[in-house]
Structure 1
């Protein structure tokens, strides 16, 4: 059995420098402070976090755990991958038969109707190449123009929030949380059911997950669907709200991805959909469908090239390694030291 003790000690020694209680020092907690005013504020609930924690699974069995692996903590943009899984569920149900279909052709009247946005497909949203332009639940997409994220090698064209010339959908990659929230809103209209319910029923419950799971929306993110008032949820916690989930449940979801969407003899998400999530985007080869790829080792040099990742701010990682049949969950790691943790885990896996 591999010895992960060195990796665990290293992780525990390098906690993210955010306060554990967001109310204790709000200016050092979260990522919204970099946004242009008046958008540099929280719009949904947040809560205190635990310390460094994580779990490691090998061949479907837990072989290491540390910290508070059963504590439901905010997981930031790992929720984006959950939206990709929900789109896969919609595909299996026949609600989204072709990801290359334009969203406007199936869902008119929700923000995809002008000549530019009519070109946007579901695949563009999944790849973050949509260049969708507009305002989603009170937030303009321009807030996220020129955003810099650590694993994107492309330099920004200007200051964050400064308008740039939009490109044709499908031709330019930009990490943009407003567009992700618009994608989530589209999925809500597609299912006509709150996305947290769909995710719990279709993914979490069948894999034995979901204890203390929450997926909250912004305080004012309510829409009417079929005569019902429903809250639309974000694909992260950039402006508050988002997914709270435990490390062990994150590992269960990672194992589902490692197993091609199948659990206990049941195909929860189509295998071909899971495979497509791991295929590189043509204009951003480090990115799949709301997942991060390591095909050239650019993300983590010591991780296998087959590895793919869910990544959230605050040092939250779910690492899926098909080469070693491993799932590794890391929570609240100082991102500057994440390569050190990954390297130590990789050495142990290869020993």
Structure 2
């Protein structure tokens, strides 16, 4: 049920102790447990809830599954490293330097609070279908897209290490169309068949898409479009470019 006791020793089971940051970032951890009242099996398991609850956990790294509970685990683990709210870190390190607006928000759930060093801090959530998540304007999406288009550099200042961008764009063995968190890759030409293999996308629920294409020096932000239409939209834009 949804009211199982939450796991705050996030990695104290035999399975969870084998999980790495890489597994969490690539959505291949198959982390087991419950966090903020949301069990790992509750988030859209492809095999159905009954089979998901009955099967053994997959070895970390072997199977890809987009799962908000496990994204929330990553957020809480990162919070324990930074020891201050992740939205504050994002604002200081990325959003302010790229000139983002002051309208974006990144929130957690009503019950996702912890005490760290005597301070009550909300642990943010990754997805929004349970509430929380990140909300931002097309303006802010575009500026973030320009940051990754420019390989993590903004006005001559390296905000994200090129090595991190490279890792983020390295295909996940269990799902070659996915890199690190929210890097949807096109190396197998499945995301956007008409686009270069080097193109990639940041995609949020909606579909809210940031298409990044270094080869064509192109950035597209599209909001609230049917997911199945994103490839056709990019194809039409690419066909309109001067060759």
Normalising by structure 2, report the TM-score. 0.92
**Residue 92 of structure 2 corresponds to which residue in structure 1?**
201
Question: What is the CA distance between 1:145 and its match in structure 2?
Answer: 5.7
Alignment equivalent of 1:333, drawn from 225, 233, 238: 225
2:67 paired with 1:168? no
**Residue 250 of structure 1 corresponds to which residue in structure 2?**
141
2:207 paired with 1:310? no
Call closer, same or farther: CA 1:282–1:350 in 2, change over 3 Å. Answer: farther
**Residue 11 of structure 2 corresponds to which residue in structure 1?**
112
Call closer, same or farther: CA 1:115–1:146 in 2, change over 3 Å. Answer: same
**Residue 160 of structure 2 corresponds to which residue in structure 1?**
269
Rounded Cα–Cα distance in structure 2 between residues aligned with 1:226 and 1:303: 48
Question: Is the Cα–Cα contact under 8 Å of residues 145 and 161 in structure 1 kept in the other structure?
Answer: no
**Residue 30 of structure 2 corresponds to which residue in structure 1?**
131
**Residue 72 of structure 1 corresponds to which residue in structure 2?**
none
Question: What is the CA distance between 1:160 and its match in structure 2?
Answer: 4.8
2:109 paired with 1:218? yes
Question: Is the Cα–Cα contact under 8 Å of residues 2 and 39 in structure 2 kept in the other structure?
Answer: no
Structure 1 residue matching 2:202: 3-state secondary structure: strand
Rounded Cα–Cα distance in structure 2 between residues aligned with 1:268 and 1:284: 28
Alignment equivalent of 1:344, drawn from 224, 236, 241: 236
Question: Is the Cα–Cα contact under 8 Å of residues 315 and 332 in structure 1 kept in the other structure?
Answer: yes
**Residue 159 of structure 1 corresponds to which residue in structure 2?**
48
Rounded Cα–Cα distance in structure 2 between residues aligned with 1:334 and 1:160: 26
Structure 2 residue matching 1:219: 3-state secondary structure: strand
Rounded Cα–Cα distance in structure 1 between residues aligned with 2:224 and 2:92: 28
Alignment equivalent of 1:146, drawn from 30, 45, 68: 45
Q: Deviations over 1:128-177 (max 9, x none)?
A: 11111111111110112633xxxxxxxxxx22564233111111111111
Call closer, same or farther: CA 1:319–1:272 in 2, change over 3 Å. Answer: same
Call closer, same or farther: CA 1:297–1:161 in 2, change over 3 Å. Answer: farther
Normalising by structure 1, report the TM-score. 0.64
Q: Deviations over 1:192-211 (max 9, x none)?
A: 00011100010000111132
Call closer, same or farther: CA 1:181–1:262 in 2, change over 3 Å. Answer: same
Question: Is the Cα–Cα contact under 8 Å of residues 2 and 37 in structure 2 kept in the other structure?
Answer: no
Rounded Cα–Cα distance in structure 2 between residues aligned with 1:305 and 1:350: 20
Unmatched tracts of structure 1, length 5 or more: 1-36, 40-108, 148-157
Q: How well do the aligned residues superpose, as a CA RMSD in angstroms?
A: 1.7
Structure 1 residue matching 2:59: 3-state secondary structure: coil
Question: What is the CA distance between 1:319 and its match in structure 2?
Answer: 0.6
2:80 paired with 1:189? yes
**Residue 49 of structure 1 corresponds to which residue in structure 2?**
none
Question: What is the CA distance between 1:244 and its match in structure 2?
Answer: 1.5
